[in-house]
Structures are given as structure tokens and as C-alpha cells.
């Protein structure tokens, strides 16, 4: 008999211990990914952008502002230093992100760390060094800190309603939204920040030059910024390679780069080079690692020893030279091959009114001027209101002073204390505030000296009120106040420029032969699976069979020089460049280097062809699945910056069928899956200057047919080659005859 169907079981809803039902517990809710992004990711992204990573017009990120304001509230502007741990603990009232994050921020603000051109924290103890990744800072319980004198320019008149205050994260206290800075701190220090989908990278400018430029800009918005502020200035010094067009791009758009070179001196008595200033984008350890790599690879042979001699006197990297070496010539090459010369990328992305904006220097100065003008206006209004209130009180006192005896009589004859103020108001025609002030005057003050002082003060207040009202009513006078403050800042805190500007630069980045790369004959091998090795002629003569991975086979065997260039084209339309000399000499008994791993290719990316050249002559020929071919000049892949990876190396419009490097035009053989072959002279294929070109039709393919092989025709033993030659393109080709079908691909 058929089994009786059972009713589906109903899952009971979980219950809390007290019998309260948990609704929808254990159920899976489906939600569109767009809603998840909108409700979860977008608020997070906006929080990072607005409240963490990007600086505002006062030059600070929220974390910096919270630390500095906490220190100001602790009285550390004029007081003695205190333990950094105390500062960190106090800052947690404003910043709940953890003590280590707060201390990291404090360290970077310190003078000892040498991160900022205008440091804001005066520290005692080890705060590490920005130019060293291994020189760690001490824990917060060991270091002490206070505010630098320049911080008086950050907090001046902050208690005079110059900026808005907001609640902290738990609404137990308040903090300023911005600091009323009296000079453009946003450009005085370098600032780096990475948000979600955007970033900020602002280089620093010399404070004296910046103040002078801001003053000139306030007087004339069309002022030429280069005349007073020719280039950035970095805390680590170095030499700025002046590039007028690139710097103008940075000044006008806020994007671009500044090239910085290390500064060195040659000590003849020790036959050594002392490097004392390096670019802000690198560290001493990174430079030493790169130089060590070059020495081990045999690309630099002039160095006998290298050591880091950094001490309390500052950075010093010493390079000992072998006898008879030219120091300037070596440094010229090291500038090209190591981070001793590097670019500082500029991306002036700043929050303006809560919105990120990329601005040039002129726009930033305009926004800062508007911000500072509003601060000065609010301060002036605050001072004016205070003086008007004081004058109002003195006006009431003046009315009383006309008949002091009457005032005394009113007070004496008033029966109740609560009636004193109303009676004074009626007796002298003054308001309640004035009457309250008069009533509180001590009896000892009713003398001639007190009366004369108050009368004189009243006259001074009237003059001061008139002056403040004039400032508020005149934009020109508001600017004059800002200019006076900027002049005082430049005079008090201005320092000489640290980074030297090199207007005439000896080119160090060309594609000249690498003199440090030993030049000797080698034989290179490349396999189908992507393994590469080079073997010297002596080793090759003594070698046996080449060791290969199971199922692998050698596709390329070439005799060349150790300083030849290698180009590996990948299935992701990219090309990776290196030199034969970058690989160690191998033997037949080893499999060699696996190219995707050695060159750092992306996940799932594989090389499809290896080209070898010494002069970038000739063309690359890319044959696509549709039968089209793109002939690209090899010089298109030669770069002045010696870049190791190029994207968009060839067209990605359709699948790649075959690749061939042509040192010069020659005849090539193309075979298809239909058993046809055609011999084409590459001179018939026009060269394209654009690497991503889709090419021109070469092979005519019918449905379901594909290209199986492309190789040089030289070396093929064909009975009647004229049968397969074509004069016009595209062409279908001729059917292979039996005696020609045995031809196999040999080493290129």
C-alpha cells in the first residue's frame, strides 16, 4: 500500500527564557545588492571621506584637530610637557578610535618625527623618523609632548565665536568643526589621505613664501603665484627638478607630480658618498634594499660597502666606492635606478563645506581667504558686541555720576532690597542691566579717581567701537587685518627654504644603456608553460639535456647578449619588460624562472609570447581570431621612464590567435584549421601607430575555421612556395599538399 503522506513539519519559533517570542529568528532574508550598497556601504564610504581621510580648509583631518584641541584644552600651549599617554587618554573624549590610532596621529605631528614642514607638537623622547621604516617610536608612556609656539596661530581667538562648535560622539562635550588658523596650514604641510574611491595628496610649501603669496593674492587675485612661490618645499629637503609645465599643471589643477632628487656630497678623503637628504616618498631602508639588489645582480659594480650612519645629527647614508670610480657618474645612474630620485604625486583633494573638491593652489587660497575673512568678521562682531555692552554699562554709570547723592539717597530710602533696582531705573531713566551694574559698585569706588578712569574708559570704548564698525563695513579693511596677521606669522615663524630648486637638470632618466649591466653572450630558453632561463656558452657546452616540467616544451631558443631587453606579452593585453641580465645565469639541470611569478603578473594572467630586442627596431605582429592583423612599431613599447609594465599593449576587441616579432619585414606563413596555408610578406600589412589598433584583414576565414599557426616562412621546405603566396589581402590561402603538411614549427 502506498505510504500515507505526512504533513510538513512546522518549525517552532525560538523562545527566550521568559517566554518572549523572537520574531523571524533563524530565517534567511533576501535583499537586493543595490539596497545593501545604499544602506550599508555608502554611509561607510561617506563617513571615511568626510570624517576621516580628507583634510578640510583649515589644513587638518578630524583626528589631527581632536588631538591638537585636546592639548590646547589641557593648557599645553604655554605649560610644561606632559606624558603622551595623558594626552592620548584625554583625546579619547573626542576620538573613540583607540589609543594607538590617537598616538600615531600625535607622533606624526611632532617635530622629532620630521613628517611636517611646520610641526605642531614639541616632543621629548623618541618619536621615530618619517624617513625610516625601521626606526620605531617609543611607547606613549615614555614620551612627553606639548604644543609648539606656532599653535598660537591655530587657536587664536577660538573663544570669540570665530568657528562653530559641535557635540562630540556622545554629546558630553563640544569640539570645534574647524580651527581659526591665521595662515594657510592646508598648504604649509604635506597631507596624505586615502578614502573610499578617492584620495588626497598635498605637498608642502615654504611658510614664508606661502604667507607672502597669500598676501599678494589678497591684494591681487590675478597675482602670478610662481613669482613668490616657485615650487614646493619638503621637510626632508632634497633637490626639486624644476619642470615649469608640470608645476603649472599642479598649481592650476591640483593634479600632477613633483620630481625630487636626493642630495649628496662626495668625501674625497674617505672615497665615499654621503647622502643626507632623500625624497619624501621613500625611506632609507627602501633605498638600501634597491641598491643591494642592484649590486647582487651585477648591475652596479662601483660600490664596495654601504651603511646607514643616521644619528642625532640627522640622516646619513654612506656609500663606499671602489678605487678610481666616478662618484657623480654613479649617482647619475642610481638616480635612474633607485628611489633616490622619485615623484611626489599631487592630488589637492580638500573638503569644502563637506564636499570633496580637487583645486589648484589659486582656488585653495581663494577658499582659505573666504574662510579666514569669515573668522575675522565673527571675531570682530564678538569684540564689538562686548565693547558695546561695556559702553552700555558705563552710560548707566555716567547717568548716576551726575548726582551720586541722589543715587545714595534712593538706596538708603528703599525699604526692601528687591526694590533697589526698580527705584534706580525710575530715578535715573536707566535700564535693568545698567541699574544692576550701578548697584554693585562698592562704596570705596565712589571717589574722584574711579570716576575719572571710567570716564576715560568710556571715551576709549567709543573710539574702539567706531574702529570695529569700520572694519565690518569695509571688506578692504577686513583684508588688511588678515594681511597684518600673515605678515606677523611670516616674520615670527618663517624659515629658509629646505628643498633646493634645480632649474637646469642633467637628464638622468633616459633609455641609455645600463653601464652596470655586464654585457656577455648568453643563450636564452623559453618554454610553452612560461619558464625562462639563460645559460652562458661555456655552461651550455658542458650541459646535457635541458630539464623541463613534465609535458612542457621549449618554444624559443635564442643567442643574445646579457643586456638585451625582454618583452612578455600576456593574455590580459599587457606587456612586462625586463632585461636578460635581471635573471641569474642558469644551467641545463634547472627548470628556470617561472615568468608570471617572477614579474608579478596578476592572478590568472599568463604570458603568450616573448620578444627579445636590443634596439626596439622592427614591429610586433598580432594576428587575431577574425583574421585581422595589427602591425605595431616595436618602438611604441620603449618608454623614457623605463616602465616595467605597460597596459593596452594590443587590441582587446577580439581573441588573439598568434604573435610574432619582426626585426624587419619578411615573409610569414599562416596556417588555418581548414588545412590551408598562405605566405604573406609583412610589407603588405600597413603599420599602425596606435597599440590598441584592431588591424587590417589578412586571412579570410569561413565559419568555424580558426588560425592554428603563424611563423616566419624562412626555413620551411615547401615544394612550390608560389602556390601559397598572396599578392592582395585578405586572402583565403591554398590547400596544403601532402608533401608540405609535414612541416613543423621549429625554434624561432
- Catalytic annotation, pick one of 142, 169, 503, 520: 142
Grid coordinates belonging to 57: 580648509
Q: What is the DSSP letter of 56?
A: B
The three-state secondary structure class of 38 is: helix
Grid coordinates belonging to 364: 585653495
Nearest to 347 by CA among 358, 357, 356, 337: 358
523 forms beta bridges with 535, 559
Phi/psi at 433 (5° precision):
-65, -45
Going from the C-alpha of 34 to that of each of 195, 272, 551, the distances in angstroms are: 21, 62, 47
Asked if 95 and 106 count as a contact pair (C-beta separation under 8 A), the reply is no
What are all long-range contacts of 407-410, with beta carbons under 8 Å and residues at least 24 apart?
407/438
Asked if 229 and 240 count as a contact pair (C-beta separation under 8 A), the reply is no
3-state helix/strand/coil string of 591-636: CCEEHHHHCCCCCCCCEEEEEEECCCCCEEEEEECCCEEEEEEHHH
Phi/psi at 389 (5° precision):
-65, -40
Nearest to 637 by CA among 507, 509, 511: 511
Q: Decide if 251 is catalytic.
A: no
For residues 430 and 420, what is the distance between their CA atoms, to the nearest angstrom?
Answer: 13
Helix axes 361-401 and 207-219, enclosed angle (nearest 10): 80
Sign of CA dihedral 663, 669, 670, 673: negative
Alpha helices in 136-184 (DSSP H): 152-155
Going from the C-alpha of 294 to that of each of 264, 311, 514, 517, 580, the distances in angstroms are: 19, 26, 11, 9, 14
Q: What is the DSSP letter of 252?
A: H
Going from the C-alpha of 537 to that of each of 589, 593, 612, 639, the distances in angstroms are: 15, 19, 18, 31
Number of other residues whose CB lies within 10 A of the CB of residue 369: 17
Residue 671's H or E segment, with its range, is: strand 667-672
Grid coordinates belonging to 561: 647578449
Phi/psi at 51 (5° precision):
-115, 10
Helix axes 361-401 and 244-253, enclosed angle (nearest 10): 50
First and final C-alpha spacing in the chain: 77
Cis peptide before 115 (omega within 30 of 0): no
725 forms beta bridges with 679
**Dihedral (Cα; 550, 553, 559, 565), 10-degree rounding:** -90
Asked if 107 and 139 count as a contact pair (C-beta separation under 8 A), the reply is no
**Dihedral (Cα; 349, 351, 354, 357), 10-degree rounding:** -40
Asked if 265 and 273 count as a contact pair (C-beta separation under 8 A), the reply is yes
Quote the radius of gyration of the chain (alpha carbons, Å).
39
For residues 643 and 377, what is the distance between their CA atoms, to the nearest angstrom?
Answer: 53
For residues 76 and 93, what is the distance between their CA atoms, to the nearest angstrom?
Answer: 17
Residue 346's H or E segment, with its range, is: strand 341-347
Give the strand pairing for 263-267 and 174-176: unpaired
For residues 290 and 292, what is the distance between their CA atoms, to the nearest angstrom?
Answer: 5
Grid coordinates belonging to 678: 598562405
- Residues labelled catalytic: 142
Amino acid at each position: 500500500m502506498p505510504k500515507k503522506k505526512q504533513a510538513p513539519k512546522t518549525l517552532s519559533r525560538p523562545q527566550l527564557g521568559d517566554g518572549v517570542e523572537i520574531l523571524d529568528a533563524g530565517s534567511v532574508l533576501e535583499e537586493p545588492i543595490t539596497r545593501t550598497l545604499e544602506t550599508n556601504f555608502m554611509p561607510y564610504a561617506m563617513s571615511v571621506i568626510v570624517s576621516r581621510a580628507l583634510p578640510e580648509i583649515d589644513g587638518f583631518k578630524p583626528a589631527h584637530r581632536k588631538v591638537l584641541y585636546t592639548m590646547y584644552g589641557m593648557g599645553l600651549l604655554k605649560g610644561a610637557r606632559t606624558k603622551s599617554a595623558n594626552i592620548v587618554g584625554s583625546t579619547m573624549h573626542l576620538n573613540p578610535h583607540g589609543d594607538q590610532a590617537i598616538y600615531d596621529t600625535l607622533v606624526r605631528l611632532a617635530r622629532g618625527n620630521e613628517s611636517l614642514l611646520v610641526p605642531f607638537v614639541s616632543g621629548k623622547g623618541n618619536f621615530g623618523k618619517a624617513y625610516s621604516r625601521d626606526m620605531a617610536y617609543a611607547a606613549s608612556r615614555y614620551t612627553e609632548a606639548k604644543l609648539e609656539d606656532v599653535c598660537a596661530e591655530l587657536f587664536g581667538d577660538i573663544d570669540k565665536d570665530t568657528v562653530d562648535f559641535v557635540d562630540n560622539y556622545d554629546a558630553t562635550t563640544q569640539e570645534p568643526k574647524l580651527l581659526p588658523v591665521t595662515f594657510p596650514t592646508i598648504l604649509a604641510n604635506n597631507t596624505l589621505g586615502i578614502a573610499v574611491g578617492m584620495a588626497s595628496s598635498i605637498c608642502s610649501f615654504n611658510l614664508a613664501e606661502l604667507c607672502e603669496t597669500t598676501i599678494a593674492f589678497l591684494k591681487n587675485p590675478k597675482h602670478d603665484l610662481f613669482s613668490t612661490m616657485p615650487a614646493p618645499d619638503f621637510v626632508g629637503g632634497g633637490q626639486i627638478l624644476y619642470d615649469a609645465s608640470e608645476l603649472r599643471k599642479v598649481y592650476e589643477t591640483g593634479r600632477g607630480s613633483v620630481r625630487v632628487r636626493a642630495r649628496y656630497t662626495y668625501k674625497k678623503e674617505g672615497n665615499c658618498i654621503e647622502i643626507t637628504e632623500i625624497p619624501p616618498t621613500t625611506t632609507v631602508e627602501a633605498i638600501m634594499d634597491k641598491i643591494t639588489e642592484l649590486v647582487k645582480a651585477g648591475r652596479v659594480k662601483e660600490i664596495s660597502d654601504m651603511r646607514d650612519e643616521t644619528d642625532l645629527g640627522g640622516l646619513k647614508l654612506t656609500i663606499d666606492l671602489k678605487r678610481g670610480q666616478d662618484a657623480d657618474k654613479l649617482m647619475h645612474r642610481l638616480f635612474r635606478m633607485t628611489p633616490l630620485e622619485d615623484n611626489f604625486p599631487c592630488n589637492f583633494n580638500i573638503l569644502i563645506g563637506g564636499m570633496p573638491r580637487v583645486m589648484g593652489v589659486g582656488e585653495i587660497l581663494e577658499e582659505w581667504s573666504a574662510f579666514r575673512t569669515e573668522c575675522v568678521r565673527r571675531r570682530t562682531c564678538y569684540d564689538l558686541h562686548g565693547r558695546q555692552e561695556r559702553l552700555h554699562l558705563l552710560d548707566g554709570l555716567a547717568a548716576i555720576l551726575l548726582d551720586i547723592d541722589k543715587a545714595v539717597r534712593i538706596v538708603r530710602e528703599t525699604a526692601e532690597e528687591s526694590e533697589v533696582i526698580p527705584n534706580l531705573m525710575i530715578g535715573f531713566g536707566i535700564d535693568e542691566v545698567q541699574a544692576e551694574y550701578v548697584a554693585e559698585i562698592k562704596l570705596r569706588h565712589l571717589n574722584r579717581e574711579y570716576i575719572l578712569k571710567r570716564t576715560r574708559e568710556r571715551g576709549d570704548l567709543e573710539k574702539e567701537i567706531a574702529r570695529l564698525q569700520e572694519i565690518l563695513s569695509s571688506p578692504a579693511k577686513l583684508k588688511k587685518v588678515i594681511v597684518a596677521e600673515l605678515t606677523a606669522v611670516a616674520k615670527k615663524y618663517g624659515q629658509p627654504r629646505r628643498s633646493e630648486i634645480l632649474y637646469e637638470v642633467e637628464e638622468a632618466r633616459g633609455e641609455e644603456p645600463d653601464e652596470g649591466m655586464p654585457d656577455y653572450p648568453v643563450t636564452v630558453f623559453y618554454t610553452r608553460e612560461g619558464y625562462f632561463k639563460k645559460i652562458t656558452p661555456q655552461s651550455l657546452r658542458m650541459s646535457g639535456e635541458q630539464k623541463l616540467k613534465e609535458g612542457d616544451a621549449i618554444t624559443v631558443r635564442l643567442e643574445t647578449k646579457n643586456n638585451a631587453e625582454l618583452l612578455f606579452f600576456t593574455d590580459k593585453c599587457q606587456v612586462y619588460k625586463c632585461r636578460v641580465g635581471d635573471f641569474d645565469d642558469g644551467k641545463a639541470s634547472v627548470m628556470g624562472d617561472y615568468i608570471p611569478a617572477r614579474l608579478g603578473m596578476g592572478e590568472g594572467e599568463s604570458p603568450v609570447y616573448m620578444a627579445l630586442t636590443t634596439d626596439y627596431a622592427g614591429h610586433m605582429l598580432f594576428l587575431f581570431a577574425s583574421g585581422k592583423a595589427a602591425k605595431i612599431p616595436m618602438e611604441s613599447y620603449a618608454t623614457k621612464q623605463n616602465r616595467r609594465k605597460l597596459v593596452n599593449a594590443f587590441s582587446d576587441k577580439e581573441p588573439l590567435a598568434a604573435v610574432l616579432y619582426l626585426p624587419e619585414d619578411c615573409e610569414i606563413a599562416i596556417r588555418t584549421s581548414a588545412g590551408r596555408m598562405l605566405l604573406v610578406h609583412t610589407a603588405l600589412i600597413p603599420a599602425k601607430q596606435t597599440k590598441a589598433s584592431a588591424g587590417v584583414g589578412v586571412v579570410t576565414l569561413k565559419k568555424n575555421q580558426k588560425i592554428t599557426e603563424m611563423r616566419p616562412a624562412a626555413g620551411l621546405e615547401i615544394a612550390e612556395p608560389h602556390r601559397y603566396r598572396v599578392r592582395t589581402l585578405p586572402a583565403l590561402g591554398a590547400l596544403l599538399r601532402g608533401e608540405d603538411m609535414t612541416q613543423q614549427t621549429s625554434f624561432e
